[in-house]
Amino acid sequence: MMEKKMYDLVIIGSGPAGMGAAIYAVRAGIETAVVDRSPVSGGQVLTTYEVDNYLGLPGLSGGELSERFREHADKLGVTFVTADVQKIENHTDKKIVFTDEGSLEARAVILATGASHSMLGVPGEMKLSGLGVSYCATCDGAFFRKRTVAVVGGGDVAAEDAIFLAGICQKVYLIHRRDTLRAADTLQKKLFSLENVEIIWNSEVKEICGEEIVEGIEVRNNQSGEQSSLAVNGVFIAVGVVPNTDAFQGLVQMDEKGYIVADETCMTSEKGIFAAGDIRRKPMRQIITAVADGANAVHSVQNFFVSQCSTL
């Protein structure tokens, strides 16, 4: 169990938003602890094969970029706590963060737990998860060397996954429900140049088939209504993300999708509670915007502390 201690600031999550906030907070002399359920910092970025749009550090893998963030934070003396946050109590004078390892107290809290992959919700998906159905190409791609796989989705993650898998697998189908991708242009150009990638447009996966491992998928063209079977060994699902806000239900205002309502100041509906990164309702979820949120959130934390002093 952790020692009960009062911090100025507890940051929950050690992805780019949490790490960005930690660095700004510690440099501002704010006594800070970062709590993450994983001892490996990085969050979603850890599953990214190559990050080519983070300023000044092109071409690093998600793991390498996360390590750089962690090294930077360690160098500044950030305190990391490995624990799973279960609930936060909001009192006028403090916030109590309850975890599976005990509780911490803080004058302010930054919620930066990011988002996780969505499920497709078709028959066979749950049953064959880990048996050919995967949500992380960089984690599981190597199991499909020289085999045939399908990627489902049309965003950045689907395009990145298909590009990564094309370097490992014999054949990659990209199945997308519309006739244009929403992935970045550079990714699309790369994707379209790959000979072993076949894009199946206007199509939806209706079922993932197989008794003990994935053997194929049933695909329906939503324009013609035609249904076809594709033999594949693996299915990589990349159909978006959902915010990791379960532990914060009822604590702060959220939108209908569960994202925390906060503008660029990262201030939530509750005083002293801030939201940074992919967990926040915002138009663009990128590593660089998450890091920027971290800095903005700490600026708001400082203003909050000043306002607390002036009301004493």
Out of 114, 153, 272, 277, point to the residue binding ligand NAP (CB under 6 A): 153
Number of neighbouring beta carbons within 10 Å of residue 238 = 26
**Cβ distance to ligand NAP smaller for residue 80 or 201:** 201
How far apart are the C-alpha atoms of 105 and 226, rounded to whole Å?
A: 58
Q: Can residue 120 be called a binding residue for ligand NAP (CB under 6 A)?
A: yes
CA-nearest of 291, 250, 290 to 273 is 250
For residues 160 and 187, the answer to whether their CB atoms sit within 8 Å is yes
Out of 63, 102, 240, 258, point to the residue binding ligand NAP (CB under 6 A): 240
Q: Can residue 156 be called a binding residue for ligand NAP (CB under 6 A)?
A: yes
**Cβ distance to ligand NAP smaller for residue 28 or 194:** 194
- Among candidate residues 139, 179, 246, 255, the one labeled active-site is 139
Amino acid present at 225: G
Q: Is 181 helix (H, G, I), strand (E, B) or coil?
A: coil
Rounded to a whole number of angstroms, the minimum distance from the CB of residue 229 to ligand NAP is 18
**Cβ distance to ligand NAP smaller for residue 45 or 108:** 45
Q: Are strands 148-152 and 95-99 parallel, antiparallel or unpaired?
A: unpaired
Q: Which of residues 267-286 bind ligand NAP (CB under 6 A)?
A: 285-286
Q: Can residue 136 be called a binding residue for ligand NAP (CB under 6 A)?
A: no
Q: Which part of the chain contacts ligand NAP (CB under 6 A), choosing from 10-18, 156-164, 226-234, 301-309?
A: 156-164
**Cβ distance to ligand NAP smaller for residue 221 or 286:** 286
Tokens 């702060």 locate to: 252
For residues 66 and 74, the answer to whether their CB atoms sit within 8 Å is no
Rounded to a whole number of angstroms, the minimum distance from the CB of residue 155 to ligand NAP is 2
Bridge partner list, 98:
87, 103
Q: Is 136 considered catalytic here?
A: yes
Out of 51, 81, 106, 262, point to the residue binding ligand NAP (CB under 6 A): 51
Amino acid present at 126: M
CA-nearest of 145, 152, 149, 166 to 214 is 149
The continuous run of DSSP H or E covering 19 comes out as helix 16-27
**Cβ distance to ligand NAP smaller for residue 18 or 155:** 155
Q: Can residue 206 be called a binding residue for ligand NAP (CB under 6 A)?
A: no
Closest residue to ligand NAP: CB criterion? 155
Q: In terms of C-beta distances under 8 Å and separation of at least 24 residues, what long-range contacts does 252-260 make, across chains too? A: 252/111, 255/281, 260/111
For residues 10 and 111, the answer to whether their CB atoms sit within 8 Å is no
Out of 151, 191, 217, 287, point to the residue binding ligand NAP (CB under 6 A): 287
Active site residues: 136, 139-140
Binding residues for ligand NAP, rule: CB under 6 A, are: 48, 51, 53, 120, 152-158, 160, 177-178, 182, 204, 238-241, 285-287
